[in-house]
Amino acid sequence: MKKKVKKVLLFTLALIFVTVGPAFSALVYEYSNTYSGAAPSGPPPWMSATFAGTGSDTVTLTLKGISLASTEFVSAFLFNYIGSDPITIAFANPWQGASTSYSPNAYSAGGAGGFDIRISFPTSAQLNRFNNSDTAVLTITGTNDPSLFYATNAGRGKTGIYTGAHVQGIARGRSGWATVPIPPTVWLLGAGLLGIVGIRRGFMK
The pLDDT score that the predictor gives to residue 126 is 76
- The whole-number pLDDT of residue 127 equals 82
pTM for this entry? 0.81
- Would you call 22 helix, strand, or coil by DSSP? coil
How many H-runs (helices) and E-runs (strands) does the chain carry?
A: 2, 13
* Of 100-104, 129-133, 185-189, the least confident: 185-189
CA–CA dist 156, 108 (Å, integer): 9
In three-state secondary structure terms, 153 is: coil
pLDDT over 70 at 114, yes or no: yes
Average pLDDT, rounded, for the chain: 83
Query: What is the reported pLDDT for 125?
Result: 83
Over 80: is that where the pLDDT of 6 sits?
A: no
- CA–CA separation, 100 and 90 (whole Å): 7
Query: Average pLDDT for residues 57-81, to the nearest whole number?
Result: 97
Domains contained in the chain, CATH given: 24-194 (2.60.40)
pLDDT of residue 131: 96
**Tens digits of per-residue pLDDT, 11-49?**
333 333 333 344 568 899 999 999 999 999 999 999 999
- pLDDT range class, residue 156, cuts 50, 70, 90: confident
Tell which residue, 42, 102, 27, has the closest CA to residue 74: 42
Cis peptide before 122 (omega within 30 of 0): no
Share of the chain above pLDDT 70, in %: 77
**pLDDT at residue 25 in the model:** 82
Q: What is the mean pLDDT of the segment spanning 74-93?
A: 97
Q: Quick one: pLDDT at residue 188? A: 60
